Structure 1
Amino acid sequence: MIFACRPNLLVGDLFGSLRFYADALGFAIGWEWSDRSGRFLRDGEHCEPGEPGTALVGRDGVQIILTQLAGDHTTRLHLDVEAATQVDELFEEWRGRGVDIAEPPFVRPWGMYEMRLHDPDGNVLRVSSPPA
């Protein structure tokens, strides 16, 4: 039975993307891997990869894999939360950290309360819940 999904977002700068997801969005860095010899985390210490690689970030039970790859790429990632107040809390948290929110929360024509933002690589993150 499928119990989880970990989308893989393609990014142009793994280290910059890790900083955005960790510092701006509050995700924890789970692991980084950039070559066949092993991982680059030591007891929770963040280490910059020596070459383009892959990393996993997570927050509140959601995990995202980031893979560095040159070129243009855009993915749309939809993050669900249980209540409209949680969308508002994330909006205030991220805006307070200087994240450029592309569209603030409002009820969409399809009935969901949603905000949208872009990561440094142009990937679209949508955060939504049923309306209050």
Structure 2
Amino acid sequence: MATLECVHPVLMCSNVSTAIRFYRRLGFDLWFIDSPDAPHYAAVRRDGVELHLQWHEAARDRTRDRPVYRFLVREVDELFVELRERGALSGQADGPWSMPGDTPWGTREFHLHDLDGNGLQFYHPNP
């Protein structure tokens, strides 16, 4: 039987260059870009995570719900401090999980959004 090994989500972006800069503030490195001058598709990596960023007209429509991506991390609070120090959390809306906290569903997590409204949730199961 075939085995699934990982997933590399493709996030819709209104501007791939701007998205790359945002994800670099999250600690991701550029892995691939289709055109350095006018990119429409790129990939970024951090640790074992790879995200693909693709230009899409629909990313400009802020009235639609956007996908949410959950990232399992070992040290949620440590990551939060790192991202704050990198300036990646500036401009984020206040919300119930805008800072690390323990959830009723048994995790410790915090949430943010990229510049196109894609939800990013960083979590770890509580013991």
TM-score (norm 2): 0.83
Residue aligning to 2:105: 110
1:51-130 alignment runs, 5 A limit: 52-71=39-58, 72=61, 74-81=66-73, 83=74, 86-100=75-89, 101-102=92-93, 103-130=98-125
Deviations 1:1-23 (A, max 9, x none): 1101001100101000000101x
1:4-19 alignment runs, 5 A limit: 4-19=6-21
TM-score (norm 1): 0.80
Give aligned pairs, total. Answer: 114
Deviations 1:33-61 (A, max 9, x none): 1xxxxxx4xxxxxxx342x5111101011
- Give the counterpart letter for 1:75 in structure 2: P
Q: Which has the higher strand share?
A: 1
Q: Secondary structure at the match of 1:90?
A: helix
Structure 2, unaligned runs of 5 or more: none
**Is contact 1:114–1:128 with CA below 8 Å preserved after alignment?**
yes
Query: Equivalents in 1 of 2:57, 2:72: separation in Å?
Result: 29
Which stretch of the first structure deviates more once superposed, 114-123 or 92-101?
A: 92-101
Structure 1, unaligned runs of 5 or more: 34-39, 41-47
Q: Secondary structure at the match of 2:121?
A: strand
Query: Equivalents in 2 of 1:89, 1:11: separation in Å?
Result: 28
